[in-house]
Amino acid sequence: MAKILESLTRTSSGNTGDLRTSNGESVRAQLNISGVTGTAPTLNVLIEDTLDGINFNTLAAFTQKTSPAREILNITAPFSETLRVSWQIAGAAASFTFSVDWHISTRRSN
């Protein structure tokens, strides 16, 4: 598994920026949330791809989180060679300590 997002406390929405892949056939992504603070905190984490580097498409979304948790998503092709992880944090003084890891299986060439 590759560490895509280090475990850090985040208080605002963001994304990883473009992550280049090659010959990806499937992605197994794991979200790990170890800490949550604030009033009515929510966290939405998406796996996205893009064909043009500007417009991003949601490939998969983790279930909205409000407390420490772990979840795994499995995504199968087709998806582009440019992926990213994005997240939205909401709530009063909300913070989430979380990380994302993934493993990309590649197509075997004949």
> Is 110 inside any structural domain?
no
> Is 6 inside any structural domain?
yes
Instruction: Tell me what pLDDT residue 22 has.
Output: 81
Q: What is the pLDDT of residues 16-73, one digit of tens each?
A: 999 998 888 999 999 999 999 999 999 999 999 999 999 999 999 999 999 999 999 9
Query: Which tokens go with 1?
Result: 């598994």
> Is 25 inside any structural domain?
yes
Count of CB atoms within 10 A of residue 66's CB? 16
Question: pTM here?
Answer: 0.93
| 98 alpha-carbon distance from chain centroid | 10
Q: How many domains does the chain have?
A: 1
Q: Domain holding 71: CATH number?
A: 2.60.120.380
> Is 20 inside any structural domain?
yes
- Report CA Rg, the chain: 14
d(CA 90, CA 36): 12
Q: Which range marks the domain in which residue 69 is found?
A: 2-105
> Is 89 inside any structural domain?
yes
Contact criterion met (CB below 8 Å) for 66 and 41: yes
> Is 68 inside any structural domain?
yes
